[in-house]
Structure 1
Amino acid sequence: SYNESIVAAALAGDLPDIIDVDGPVMPNWAWSGYMVPLQLSDGALDDFLPGAIGTWNGEVYSVGLWDAAIGMFARRSVLEANGIRIPTLDDPWNLDEFDAALETLQATGDFEYALDLGMAWTGEWYPYAFSPLMQSFGGDIIDRSTFTTAEGAINGDEAIAFGEWWQSLFDRGLAPGTSQDGADRDTGFIDGKYALQWNGNWAALGALDAFGDDMLYLPAPDFGNGSRIGAASWQFGVSANSEHQDCGFAFIEHAIQDEYLAAFSNGIGLVPATASAAALTENYAPGGALEVFYELSNAQGTLRPPTPAYLSAALTFEKALADIANGADVIDALDAAADEINADIEANGGYGFDGSVVGPDIQNDAIANQ
């Protein structure tokens, strides 16, 4: 894997000058000594989406030239035909509304499933796409007050409530489970198999081509603790063994100019890291076809737990959610996840945390509100 290649190169002292790192993985690499804090000009990151800034231990180690955002894909005609309110950023669906919408759409018989969550996509998709839903219930992968335990976060009452609702989606036949075919994930919404789809901005243009003005990209529901989506995509940092660190810093500062952020967005389709860069793009400028995804990223984007423990905890979270979807006892699955995460934290000496309450520059939970 890419992570294993980086670890091997670091041990051999053979890392490149510039490292491309997935945002939630960065704290592990910084803690491991693979990266150094960036030295950028004052104010260089002032206008950046919070999710595009990689911070560890109070210092910036990485910067993204883009971010990604998830929305609820829907068709206006389908919602209106079934009397379902179209939510907005300021007034998203709550749990009861969202659940009722799913039941209504399933009952039409027009779709195989009311909702496609993307269960065929494994790996980082699970914590990226689904842990913000748990957070909206009030749970989390790790207790962010200290980052030294998962107890009470991934297996507390709020997380259990999420797990029970999560399992009910599959028990009630509202969403395809872990056996979903990958091809159905890719084209099922466009083919009419799914009424709603939880998907990212990278898939938005294909849906827009299929449905035109009927296409909607809706905000995440608010399950009681705010509407949340994942934040932080791939970012650039400078390796600790680079003999040209000043050049690395200079390259990154050059690359984060708006003209290059806009060029990256136009080239790869992802969300520009600044509003001024978004204004230079075809799709994310005001009135652009994908403008809503910049708004979603800015308003709802939430970091996955910024701790070195995340690298292991993400796999544990993925397994727990897959097991629950497949019928495992919710409490047992979440308790087991807490135990596994705690064992990893203990085995690694707390990953640099000592149990004291950490500051918001590290915790960085609801990043859109800071």
Structure 2
Amino acid sequence: MAASRRGRRPPARGRRGWPVAALAALGLLLACHRPPPPAVAVWFHTGQPAERALLERQVARYNAGQPPLPVRLTLLPEGSYHAQVQAAAAAGELPDLFEVDGPYLARYVWQGAVRPLEALLPPAVVADLLPSLRLQGRVAGHLYGVGCFDSGLGLYADRAALARVGARLPAGPQEAWSASEMEAVLARLAARDPDGAVLDLKLNLHGEWESYAFLPLLVSAGGGVLDPATGRATGFLDGAASVRALATVQRWIRRGWVDPNLDDAAFPQRRVALAWGGHWDYHRYREALGEDLALLPLPDFGEGSRTGMGSWQWVIAAASPRAEAAAAFLAFLLRPEEVAATAAANGAVPGRIAAVARSPLYREGGPLRLFLTQLAGGVAVPRPATPAYPVITASFQRCFEAVRDGADPAA
């Protein structure tokens, strides 16, 4: 017995404590690799700083309300945003809620990347959206995208300069200058101008600006890029009406009436009396011209004044397992007070009728009310809602630049 007891090994110091320490270390390791709690993944392009900062505050306010699922926001560079979203779509790794530029919506629908929103958003909210937003967001009979704002396009004018040549100021689309009246105004302005350049078409800009700004002129003339009956460009983009519209713009350029605007300052420096421009130009133009600043509709090329429309839209991924939670955050962003805040941050047209009265710029009597009138009154025309839009817009941009540089519009 004694020998047996002497043969036993005494317990090592601390041996009984090692399982506890090991379990603690394992717990710490698992905690470090624990997946994040469920959240609604949202992607947003890093556009204007004020708009970005507002969305971050909106996310914080929404999350502070303790929704069923919080929102996790990811900001992506605007320059590469579309490419990153396309890559995520191809890899099946889209977030729950993300933005798309309005004209590209049909491509995502065709890819099966996004889902209809009718069953996810309150009908009263959808009904209160600007008609232009409902039109832009509808593809193949379903609403796939909604925006908190839309864009405005018009003709900014120097009241004093126009008064000196006796030009009238159209109050709305129905009173827009005809093509011939606008040419007469340009000629009178040029006769009093040192270099004869009196119109800014923002020829310093390229890419989507050309499609957004000048496709409405083709529609105003009775043309366009795609035949609505056949969906084909042949015989329509090169048809008589479209050619006539492009030839008119080319004539303005050839006569020296258009400032090349290489410094993007032709209008605020008052080198020109008229400027093709969007809602984003208003504040710097107002600062430069003060009470002399006026906003006019684009000219009527024969079938009524037309203007551009379209901007960023929110969509929900088709494969999202959190679609209802994503829609809840989207409904929050579409509240009138949030829509008004977004429009105030980026200067765009409020996307809901209920939010317009909150905007000093767009409410009745506001200096940019014309933009709202155009979007709500059927004057604005969408860019073609087709999966082939990236090809179409690139083709039109090449066509426009060739005409700008002197090519035959009918070629």
- In which range does the TM-score fall when normalised by the shorter chain? 0.7 to 0.9
Q: Could you report, residue by residue, the CA deviation over 1:217-242 in whole angstroms, capped at 9, with x for unpaired residues? A: 00111111111111111110111232
- Matching of residue 103 in structure 1 with residue 187 in structure 2: yes
Q: Could you report, residue by residue, the CA deviation over 1:181-224 in whole angstroms, capped at 9, with x for unpaired residues? A: 1x2x2x21010121100001111122112222211000111111
The equivalent residue for 1:251 is 329
The equivalent residue for 1:153 is 236
2:145 is paired with a residue whose SS is: strand
Match of 1:193 among 255, 271, 276: 271
The equivalent residue for 1:354 is none
Instruction: Give distance in 2, aligned partners of 1:91 and 1:249.
Output: 41
Given that residues 156 and 276 in structure 2 are in contact (C-alpha distance below 8 angstroms), is that contact kept between their aligned partners in structure 1?
yes
- Residue 256 of structure 1 aligns with an amino acid whose one-letter code is L
Instruction: Give distance in 2, aligned partners of 1:111 and 1:227.
Output: 29
Shift of 1:174: 1.3
The equivalent residue for 1:350 is none
Match of 1:18 among 97, 105, 113: 97
- Residue 43 of structure 1 aligns with an amino acid whose one-letter code is A
Match of 1:319 among 376, 391, 398: 398
The equivalent residue for 1:291 is 369
Instruction: Give distance in 2, aligned partners of 1:204 and 1:7.
Output: 33
Match of 2:138 among 51, 55, 70: 55
Given that residues 113 and 195 in structure 1 are in contact (C-alpha distance below 8 angstroms), is that contact kept between their aligned partners in structure 2?
no
- Residue 134 of structure 1 aligns with an amino acid whose one-letter code is L
- Residue 206 of structure 1 aligns with an amino acid whose one-letter code is R
- Matching of residue 279 in structure 1 with residue 341 in structure 2: no
Given that residues 71 and 296 in structure 1 are in contact (C-alpha distance below 8 angstroms), is that contact kept between their aligned partners in structure 2?
no
TM-score (norm 1): 0.85
Given that residues 111 and 193 in structure 1 are in contact (C-alpha distance below 8 angstroms), is that contact kept between their aligned partners in structure 2?
no
Match of 1:70 among 132, 153, 157: 153
- Residue 42 of structure 1 aligns with an amino acid whose one-letter code is P
Instruction: Give distance in 1, aligned partners of 2:90 and 2:279.
Output: 36
Q: Could you report, residue by residue, the CA deviation over 1:276-298 in whole angstroms, capped at 9, with x for unpaired residues? A: 20101232222333323222332
- Matching of residue 134 in structure 1 with residue 218 in structure 2: yes
Shift of 1:128: 0.5
- Matching of residue 235 in structure 1 with residue 319 in structure 2: no
Given that residues 295 and 367 in structure 2 are in contact (C-alpha distance below 8 angstroms), is that contact kept between their aligned partners in structure 1?
no
The equivalent residue for 1:210 is 288
Unaligned segments of structure 1, at least 5 residues: 333-370
CA RMSD, aligned part only?
A: 1.5
Structure with bigger gyration radius: 2
Shift of 1:243: 2.1
- Matching of residue 34 in structure 1 with residue 87 in structure 2: no
Given that residues 113 and 194 in structure 1 are in contact (C-alpha distance below 8 angstroms), is that contact kept between their aligned partners in structure 2?
yes
Match of 1:166 among 249, 255, 278: 249
Given that residues 51 and 233 in structure 1 are in contact (C-alpha distance below 8 angstroms), is that contact kept between their aligned partners in structure 2?
no
The equivalent residue for 2:126 is 45
Residue 114 to residue 171, structure 1, CA distance change in 2 (3 Å): same
Q: Which deviates further from its counterpart, 17-26 or 237-246?
A: 237-246
Instruction: Give distance in 1, aligned partners of 2:207 and 2:226.
Output: 18
Given that residues 52 and 273 in structure 1 are in contact (C-alpha distance below 8 angstroms), is that contact kept between their aligned partners in structure 2?
yes
The equivalent residue for 1:302 is 381
Instruction: Give distance in 1, aligned partners of 2:170 and 2:363.
Output: 22
Unaligned segments of structure 2, at least 5 residues: 1-79
Instruction: Give distance in 2, aligned partners of 1:303 and 1:144.
Output: 12
1:2 is paired with a residue whose SS is: helix
Residue 44 to residue 146, structure 1, CA distance change in 2 (3 Å): farther
Instruction: Give distance in 1, aligned partners of 2:169 and 2:328.
Output: 46
Alignment of 1:2-17 (within 5 A): 2-17=81-96
Q: Could you report, residue by residue, the CA deviation over 1:143-199 in whole angstroms, capped at 9, with x for unpaired residues? A: 12232x11221011111111211221211111145xx51x2x2x2101012110000
Instruction: Give distance in 2, aligned partners of 1:111 and 1:64.
Output: 43
The equivalent residue for 1:365 is none
Instruction: Give distance in 1, aligned partners of 2:188 and 2:111.
Output: 50
Shift of 1:110: 4.4
Tell which has more relative contact order, 1 or 2 (C-alpha 8 A, sep 6+).
Answer: 1
Given that residues 259 and 272 in structure 2 are in contact (C-alpha distance below 8 angstroms), is that contact kept between their aligned partners in structure 1?
no
Question: Alignment identity in percent?
Answer: 34
The 4+ residue runs of structure 1 with deviation greater than 4 A are none
